[in-house]
Amino acid sequence: MKKKIMFMVINMNIGGTEKALLNMINEMPKDQYEITVLMLEKYGGFLDAIPKEVKVEYLENYVDYKNIVNRPPMENILNHFRHNEFIRGFNLGLVYLLSKVFKKNLFYLNHILKGFPEYKNQYDVAVAYAGPMDFISYFIAKKIKANKKVQWIHFDVEKIGFDWKSASKIYKEFDKIFVVSQEGKNKLSKLLKNLNRENKIDYCGNIVSSGLIRNLATEEKGFDDDFNGIRILTVGRLSKEKGQDMTIKVLSRLRQEGFKVRWYCVGEGKERKEYERLIKEYNVKEDYLLLGAKINPYPYMKDCNIYVQSSSHEGYCITLAEARCFSNPIITTDFTGAREQIKHNENGMIVSFNEEELYKALVKTINDKQLKSKIINNLESEIIDTKVEMKKIYEIINY
């Protein structure tokens, strides 16, 4: 009989977390596992990329609670009073006050979601694939029937305002908490010492299918302009933590110094208008190109001259891992997990989240032919293997 596995996510937007999930479920044999992807919203550029053998379901009741969950608590409290629901408003206000005093958001979440019904289906394993401590974690812990429960953490818990007190309590409901980088695991273990003592916290890197990535890189055309200089590529959601604003300023300086370079950015997000403003302000409209979201960014990774990951923080950067499938020089900022993928001056360069350091690294990569050749050769000889990670996944499912 097939094991029933459920992964819960917000949506299937084009992003690293969603890509990692797709890679994982593509690796899992469908004759052994009945896989379900449960989403809060029917949305995302990766929806059509979900394998046809995988069940796709949506949380029907979420629409009734979405505004309540996402609105600031004070707004929910005031709404009760506006509708003459004084007792409900007073009770919610008291719960919110207690959550602030004891610094446990779980008080508040328990209160507003106490009427949310349990999910209809039962599973062998249920996975909160988004997190680190939000509606999905709560829902898997409290509203899903499963023999085993797993939390996946894709973020740096020191950078996102992690509510470790609530997490310490809610994560007791989980059999395993996977963190996608060893450095990230160490940080979480220090915060949640009780769970670390129980050996619940473990490292499991994101799954990268290098063979599939290289094949996809040949299936479509990448750059379609006639530029014959140095092409720099960055892939990531257009958001502040991905650091594209810094790359715009660095490109402006490179152009002013006479370097024949053009920067291409694959991704979409809420900061597009701000970045378009910066591109105009720094006079790089012809040479900083926002290409939008691409389901298949790999032709660009294959054909660029330099790949830059400019993030201020990550959990485990899957686009960096994907860039390593090709032999183009890589420069990355020093976020959590970067040093687990890149050895400085060996298979890439690591810099601080700093315009000056990124600029100098790009100049060195362009001018130092010996270093460039060394990095290319080392990347060509690398073998990206995720068998160990898949073994950990199968162990939690099967035992």
106 part of a folded domain: no
Residues 169-194 pLDDT 10s: 888 999 999 999 899 899 999 989 88
298 part of a folded domain: yes
Q: Do 194 and 278 sit in the same domain of this protein?
A: no
pLDDT computed for residue 62 by the predictor: 85
Q: Do 247 and 128 sit in the same domain of this protein?
A: no
Q: Do 13 and 131 sit in the same domain of this protein?
A: yes
Q: Do 29 and 127 sit in the same domain of this protein?
A: yes
Beta strands in the chain (DSSP E): 3-9, 33-39, 55-58, 122-128, 145-153, 176-179, 201-203, 230-235, 261-266, 288-292, 306-309, 330-333, 349-351
370 part of a folded domain: yes
- Better-predicted residue by pLDDT, 234 or 211: 234
User: Would you give the end-to-end CA distance of the chain in angstroms?
Assistant: 15
Q: Provide mean pLDDT across the span 111-126.
A: 88
Question: What backbone torsions phi and psi does residue 251 show, to the nearest 5 degrees?
Answer: -60, -40
Tell me the whole-structure pTM to 2 decimals.
Answer: 0.81
Q: Do 364 and 285 sit in the same domain of this protein?
A: yes
Mean pLDDT for all residues in the chain: 90
109 part of a folded domain: no
Q: Do 394 and 363 sit in the same domain of this protein?
A: no
- What does the DSSP assignment read for 194-205? HHHHTT-EEE-P
Q: Do 163 and 234 sit in the same domain of this protein?
A: no
107 part of a folded domain: no
Give the alpha-carbon dihedral of 87, 88, 93, 95, to 10 degrees: 110
Residue 105: pLDDT band (50, 70, 90) is confident
Q: Where is mean pLDDT largest: 26-40, 88-102, 146-160, 204-218?
A: 26-40
Residue 102: pLDDT band (50, 70, 90) is low
- Domain region containing 130: 3-61+117-207+388-398
pLDDT computed for residue 131 by the predictor: 66
Looking at the predicted structure, is the pLDDT value of residue 84 above 90? no
Q: Provide mean pLDDT across the span 135-159.
A: 91
250-253 long-range contacts (CB < 8 A, ≥24 apart) are 250/355, 250/358, 250/359, 250/362, 251/282, 251/284, 251/287, 251/288, 252/282, 252/283, 252/284, 253/355, 253/359
169 part of a folded domain: yes
282 part of a folded domain: yes
Q: Do 190 and 223 sit in the same domain of this protein?
A: no
Q: Do 270 and 247 sit in the same domain of this protein?
A: yes
Q: Do 184 and 249 sit in the same domain of this protein?
A: no
Looking at the predicted structure, is the pLDDT value of residue 165 above 90? no
Q: Do 266 and 370 sit in the same domain of this protein?
A: yes
Burial class (CB in 10 A: 0-12, 13-18, 19+), 87: exposed
Give the H/E segment covering residue 53: none
Looking at the predicted structure, is the pLDDT value of residue 231 above 90? yes
Residues 354-379 pLDDT 10s: 999 999 999 999 999 999 999 999 99
pLDDT computed for residue 7 by the predictor: 97
List the one residue out of 356, 49, 70 whose CA is nearest residue 216.
49
CA angle 171, 176, 177 (to 5 degrees): 65
Q: Do 188 and 237 sit in the same domain of this protein?
A: no
pLDDT computed for residue 232 by the predictor: 98
Specify the CATH number for the domain of residue 29. Answer: 3.40.50.2000
Looking at the predicted structure, is the pLDDT value of residue 104 above 80? no
Number of domains, the chain: 2
Tokens of 357: 């350091």
